[in-house]
Structures are given as structure tokens and as C-alpha cells.
Structure 1
């Protein structure tokens, strides 16, 4: 813990306060606070300086300190009017998200208030490090809803925004800084999963441990809440008391009892059962990570967590199948696959008869439904459906010629089980499919996979633990790998069909853009 809070340097010019934020530069013997620009907000300031007459006048009032203070006050009011009231009326050159940017300018302007408030509280009570006080202040201004309520009560005639926000933040973090609230068990219980995950990453903990720590923390919180927080036997002022071994044992039982349920992350299900002592060690690591987490007040990660609270991890959707498939042949890398895909599909379209070409043009290009096409061709709707299926199947089979899945899926699944079973990549659709398939397996089979691919135990030990023979272990592993291969091939079929559907619509609609040219669809495509 530092004995002295670093000095906050003054920006060179007042307008910089609207696009600079604080970072800590750890020197050899001491920490130094510096300003760093948020580039998109810096560009926004320049835009208004060039395009907005009133804004430009504020920045050209000279270097007199008194004038600068007045201009700064008026610029604060300018962004407040825009943020709270969307005033003045939007001009054509202004960004569509100008209100959001106005809030961001005001938020960064209050960075200095965070520092001032934290300094005042820290000088009065050095129970906790000054970085934690700054972190608590930032939690308030980077919460848009709370920040809006605070600014709505601000009277520009009564004081400067700096004075007003410093006092609001001082009171807030002073209340948050009550000694009891800095209990490490409160810290562990109150921090969000997103913050804990970020803290663990900074602390050097990665998957699969992160998922297991988060899952364990969930059950520890439940047990701790019932046994300690809500326990009437605890005296007032001792709310965040030290948990005992029974609490950790109970939390471990909950963890082990639900690790194989569908709600459990794959990394948890893939791991072994834990003891109370192991779970306690995990919680201590989480606490250490959280205690270190606010020490870097650089918002590149921690403030993203604050501003994006509640947002879950986004999974990558289905796009070009070659982006999600791994190929052993260097000639079939994603870039080459894209070119080859285009070539083989167009070649296959050239081989279609005129009726089939017209059917594709009407269905994918003009958007006719099957009933309308059936009336034109004087056949039944089911006949049109069969013709479309025949063409689509033919084109899908053509895509398979690039790299037939059955030839590489077996090798892929085997490699994945051996290297990535515990830490799948959720941005990879193939991994997602394999994890989803594993979740549907019988509990006994999942236990077998955990021990064989997760813990990498000797087969004889696995036989003893599960009470099965060596032949049964081999049979279960072979059957499971076959299930994964089947699920993967089915998903590849879906991916290819979705890609083909998008490709056909794009190519056929390209024909519509040239309606006066009497040429068939393939001439247009080529």
C-alpha cells in the first residue's frame, strides 16, 4: 500500500478534460498517474471545433485563466444540454450517436472529480488503498443510469461540475469505504462474475480454472449467505464474518452434486470433484485477484467491464463454413477455399438445364414462393419443393468435394478430445457443437471422459473407479467419439446449406440488377 497518493497532472488545455482519462504508470519505486486520450472522443471534439460555430468560439477565447474557466463552464453546459435534452437540434454533419458521445465526454470530464474525491477520503481514512477509492468513484460515473440521475440534479448556477461531482463522489465512496464493507468476503460476494473473470485473467488465471472458480463461487455465496449473512446468531457489526471449514465443505458438496447438470459449464463438467479444502483455496485465489484488480485504474479493461455490465459473451454466428473448419491441406486454407467455393458452384450452375436455372432465379432472385412457381410451371407445389431439394443437394455435394468432412472429422474429433476437451473455444462453432453433444451424454460416460481426457488418468484406475472392464472403457470411448463425429457432420451439413442459401440469393439477385439484358442467369453470374 502506498503512503502517498500520486499527484494528478493538469491537462495543458481545458478542452482536453473532455477526452482524457487516468492511467497508472508503475515506475521502479512509485506509481505515477498520467492522462491518456480516448481517440474517438478526441476526434469528436475536433469535429465540433471545425463544424460548430459556438463550440469553435469557446475554444478561441485566448489563454486568459478567467476566460478559460468561463469557457470550460459553458462547454460543460453544452454537453449536458445535449446529453440530457438532445439540444440543440441535430445538424446533418453530427454523428448519429451524438447523445451517447456527449455522455462519454461528461464521464471523462468527471475523471478528475474521481481523483479529488478519492484523495479526500483516503487522507481521512487510509484503511484501504487509494486505487480502490478511485475504482469505487468510477463505478458511479461509468454507470450511465446513476450518472444521469446525479447530473439531472446539478444546478450550473450553484457551483462548477467539478465541485458538485467531487462532493457527490466523496460521500458515496466514504459510505462504501466503511471498514465492514472492505471485508474480503464481502468483496468476493459482491463483485460480478464479469469483474471476477477480468480480475482472474489479470492475475494470471485462465480457462478451464476461471469457469470452475466462478461455478464454485456461486455455491460458496449461497452457503455463506445462509450460514453467515442471514444467521441471527451473528452480532451486529460482524456481518462479514470468516467462513469456517463446514461452509467450504457444504459448498463443495453443492458443486460436486451439480457439476454434471446441463447448467454447469463444460469446463466444470470436464473436471474432477473438489474437496472443501480445494474450494477454499480457489476462493482465496479469487479474493487475491479481486484485491489486486483495482490497482490498475487503466480503463482499457476494468472500465469496459463497468460500461458493459450485464452483457454476456457473444457467440460467433454461422457465416462462411470455411471460417470454422480447420484444414490440414495448405491448398485449402480459408482464403483459397473461398475462391474455390465460388468457382465450383458457378461451374455446377453452368451444368443445370434452363428450367432449373429459371427455378433458381424465380425462387432466390425474385423471391417467389413455391406455390407461385408451381402455377407458372403447371405442376404441384410438392414437385417444385422436390426440384429445389434436388438442386440444393447437388450443390451441397459439390461443396463436399473441396474437403469431404468424413475424411477429416475423425481425426479432428480425436485431436480435440486430446488437446481441447477441458478448454473449448466458444468462438469456434465446431467446438460449440462438440460441447453441446457431450452435455447430452449419460453421466457415467461423461465421468469416463473427465477421467480419461480431462484428468488423463491411467485406464486401470478408471476401471476401478467406475467398476467396469478395460474392454468396456474402450467401447465407451469409441461409441462416444462416433457420436461426436456424427453430430459434427450433421452440423457441417447445416452450415453448408445456410451458406449455399445465402450465396444463391446473392447471385440470383445480381441478375435482377440487369433486367433489360436478355441473358440467362449464368451469363450474368459469369
Structure 2
């Protein structure tokens, strides 16, 4: 729900949240519509899931939650969860329930931030409403500060809503009076990861995100020297706004560095020179995004402190696992699944066709984790012989996968299609596209230049030849050479991925067999089996599978 400005004071109206689900799982989002600032409530899916979980599993909470007029009672419930760190965690509760409790409280207090900021603006007749709102939200989204505030709460003196409103009002007054807050300091201090996340939520997409992040890098350098470290600035004084000279110098640095191999791919492929006005506009977008998104408002030092205090903080770094679909040329999900199943089937068949000695070595190496020296000692063989056995077996399996994936048939077409359609804004989380971006950065200057002109700026070959002062044949030769280099580099990466896939597959395959065979033994109540006994049982199982 979105409402327009009030006629009284031009501060945007905050839409009402109709139920407890919204009151404890949404945050304020500032957006521009028709050149006017409007407020929206944005949902946090993780908080919604947690509320529904407690509603289903916790009877007392469910009774509170269904009464929409008891939002303050629900808030007090989460306050108790946040404080009672010694209580046991039920089987159904999330391990990070204390962290989620603080997030529910911050969501609930969003309205208090709005009204505290608005009332102060009316009282002081100031034009600092957005700044006041951000000061308040910085406080409630800092779990350590919020904990400190809630510890001092006395339910006999005032209800929780009144107490928090008074705290926020006093905090905004204090911060504003001593010039502790600056939107430019907020922009300067936030990490690249936080800013990127905030921009995405704000609706900015690639390649503009990469351009903005790159611009902020040079703006920070200029702003630090010209304003923050300026000898005329008193230490502790509010960070002042940058001026036109700062934006102009930032644009000069941006344009000078964008052509270097170290620049992000999206920046290099954008041939347009940026202006001081563009840098200024981008920095304003950054500030709006950071002010709007609570996860980016959360200070990094608080996350570090939370970890020291035993809180569980969600990792933002997701390490992609090697999946068969990543090395598939097709974009059809069903076909990808078919290829994955086909790989499993063919690899299983190949293993069953191997000699028993070869399979035994693979079992001990991938299943039980014995290294080559341990294998050699156990089987009374030379370590070099063990190495040859492993190499021979894995080559046979690799050849089987290669017959399915056939990279030599799809890589060339994939590269041509990618250059034509996704060169400007590659998906870096995609292994293939990330490999191509890395390969482009390693090309010599003339090869990078030809790709940029032909695929980036989409200039035809005749104009490129005229611009570079070379023949059409040379243009075609350079384009072909650049594509061939990318093809060679991608083939090398695909071969590495296939090998990694096989290593992972073999580990999972043999460990699953071991787990299956030993499952009944573990349940029998007998003492832990020795390694020799485990190996013997698994070998018997594998031999029986062959007949």
C-alpha cells in the first residue's frame, strides 16, 4: 500500500500495518514516484516464516498473535526471547532465534521511528525528516544498542511503545545537536557488500550496480582527502556534504581507471565517460538505498560483536557447489536434470565394469579417505602403482562424462551467443560466465579492444577498421582470434569442472554405500566397529552387488 504526501507538512504518510504478521516482518522502504518521496512496507520473508512457525508450534504465542490489538504483547514476547539466552532451544525452533527476535522487535519499532522523526520535525520546523528517520533506524537495527535499551525498560513506569518512542526522540535530538550523524558518513562507511545488497533491494540492476560501486570507490578517495581529512575540518565535527569539485575529481578518476584490466567487466564495457553530475546522482541513489534497507543499516561492528557474544549471524557468502547442470550447454531445466541422471547412471555402470581391485582402491581412497601412502602400505604395493591405478580409473570415468557433456560441440556456440547477448552484464554467479569474464581480463589490449568495439559498443567492422586504421581482414582476424582464445580458456575450465564433479561424485557414491552398509550395525548397539571390520563389510556388499 502506498500513500501520497500529506498537505500539512509535506512529510510522506506512513501506511498502516493491518495485522501482527505485517507489524513484525516488514520494514520501511523509501521510494520516488513521480518525483515525490513515498513510503512502503516491504516484507522480510525470513521473518514471516519465523512468525508462522511460532504460530503453529507455540500455543502461548499463537493466542497472542491471533489478537491483532495485542501487538505490544507480541513485542514483549520477543523481548523475553531475546533476553532469555539460557533457555533450551526446542527441536522446531531455529538455532538463531535470538537474532530473529531482535529483528522482529526492530520491525515492530519501525513505526516508532517514523513518528519520532515526524514529531520532531513539526516541533523544530526543520527540513531534516529523512535524516531523523535514518538516525532512529540506525539505533533499532543495531542489536547491541537495542539490547542495551531494552535491558533498562521498566514495565511499571511506562508501556513498551511509550518507552521506545521517548528513547528514539531523545536519541535523535542528541545526535542532531552534536552533529554526530551525516548521510555522507553513512555512504562512506558502508561496505561494498552491504551497498550492493541495498541497491538490489532498491531496484537497481546490473550493469548499473557495478558502475555505481566503481564510482563510489573513487568518490570515497576524493571525499576522504578533500573533506574528511581536510586540515580545516575539526575532528569530531559532522561530515559535510561534498561539492562540485569533489564530484568532478571523482569522475576524472573513474574515467581514467575504467579502461584498465582491474576494472569490473561491466565498467570496461560501458564506453560512455561519466560526468560529475552522474557521480553525484549515483551517490544520492546509494544514500537512498542505504537509508531504506535495514540489513544494510546494520553496522558491521555489531555483527562482529554479536558473534563474540554467541549470536548466530547469517553468512552472506554462498560457496557454489559443483553441479552437473553448471557444465551443461542446455538452458532447459528438464534436459539438465536428464543429463545429471544420465551421468549418474553411466558412472555407476563404468564402476561396475571395472576390475574388483580397481574398485577396491577407489572405495578405500574416496570412501574411507585413505591417502596413497596408506593404500600402498595396506595393499603392499608401491605408491606409484597406486597412483597409476587411480589415474587409470579416473580417466576412464572422465571419458565417460565427456561423452555426455561434449563440450567441444557446445562451447563455441555458447561463447558466440554470450558475446552477442550478455557481454554487457554477465551473471557472475554463473560459473561459465564468470570464467569468460576472467578470460577476457587476461586478453592482450588489442583483443580486449576489438571485443569492446564489436560486442560492447556494437560498431560494425567497417567503422572499426576506419577508427583503428587497419584492414577489414585484420578486424575479422582479431575477432576470430579473441573468440578462439575464449573458447580455449573455457574448455580448460570445463575440464577442471568435470574433474571436480567426478571427485565429488565418487566421494558421495562410496560414502553413501558405506553409510548404507553400516546403518544396521550402528543400530544394533554393538561397540564401534574397527576400520578393518568396516572395510570388510563394505567389500562383501560390493562383491554381492556384482552377481
Aligned pair partner of 2:7 in 3, 7, 15: 3
Higher RCO (C-alpha 8 Å, min separation 6): 1
- Bigger CA drift: 484-493 or 474-483? 474-483
Decide whether aligned partners of structure 1 residues 443 and 182 sit closer, same or farther in structure 2, where only a CA change above 3 A counts: farther
Structure 1: any 5+ residue segments left out of the alignment? none
Decide whether aligned partners of structure 1 residues 454 and 337 sit closer, same or farther in structure 2, where only a CA change above 3 A counts: same
Q: How do 1:87-102 and structure 2 match up within 5 A?
A: 87-90=86-89, 94-102=93-101
Query: How many aligned positions are there?
Result: 504
Matched, 1:282 2:278: yes
CA contact (8 A) 1:143 1:307 kept: yes
CA contact (8 A) 1:365 1:505 kept: yes
CA contact (8 A) 1:318 1:495 kept: no
Decide whether aligned partners of structure 1 residues 9 and 263 sit closer, same or farther in structure 2, where only a CA change above 3 A counts: same
Decide whether aligned partners of structure 1 residues 57 and 258 sit closer, same or farther in structure 2, where only a CA change above 3 A counts: closer
- Aligned equivalents of 2:204, 2:138: Cα separation in 1: 24
- Aligned equivalents of 1:327, 1:17: Cα separation in 2: 41
Aligned to 2:51: 42
Matched, 1:521 2:545: no
CA deviation map 1:316-349 (0-9, x unaligned): 5232232343228x79821110121122112222
- Aligned equivalents of 1:30, 1:283: Cα separation in 2: 21
CA contact (8 A) 2:25 2:43 kept: yes
CA RMSD, Structure 1 to Structure 2 (Å): 4.4
CA deviation map 1:198-250 (0-9, x unaligned): 67557765322321222123213322443355555789999746633x54443
- Bigger CA drift: 263-272 or 378-387? 263-272
Kindly state the Cα deviation for residue 399 of structure 1 after the two structures are TM-superposed: 0.5
Aligned to 1:346: 348
CA deviation map 1:359-391 (0-9, x unaligned): 222222233222232234432101111111111
- Bigger CA drift: 254-263 or 31-40? 31-40
Aligned to 2:522: none
- Aligned equivalents of 2:318, 2:92: Cα separation in 1: 35
- Bigger CA drift: 407-416 or 473-482? 473-482
Q: Secondary structure at the match of 2:429?
A: coil
CA contact (8 A) 2:27 2:110 kept: yes
CA deviation map 1:280-320 (0-9, x unaligned): 2322432563576589x6xxxx2343359699974652322
- Aligned equivalents of 2:38, 2:120: Cα separation in 1: 19
Q: Provide the TM-score with structure 1 as the length reference.
A: 0.78
- Aligned equivalents of 2:343, 2:393: Cα separation in 1: 16
Aligned to 1:115: 114
Q: Secondary structure at the match of 1:333?
A: helix
- Aligned equivalents of 1:294, 1:259: Cα separation in 2: 25
Decide whether aligned partners of structure 1 residues 427 and 124 sit closer, same or farther in structure 2, where only a CA change above 3 A counts: same
Kindly state the Cα deviation for residue 396 of structure 1 after the two structures are TM-superposed: 0.6
- Aligned equivalents of 2:51, 2:494: Cα separation in 1: 46
CA contact (8 A) 1:118 1:133 kept: yes
CA deviation map 1:472-492 (0-9, x unaligned): 443333332222212211111
CA contact (8 A) 2:141 2:298 kept: yes
- Aligned equivalents of 1:430, 1:285: Cα separation in 2: 33
CA contact (8 A) 1:396 1:496 kept: yes
- Aligned equivalents of 2:277, 2:170: Cα separation in 1: 35
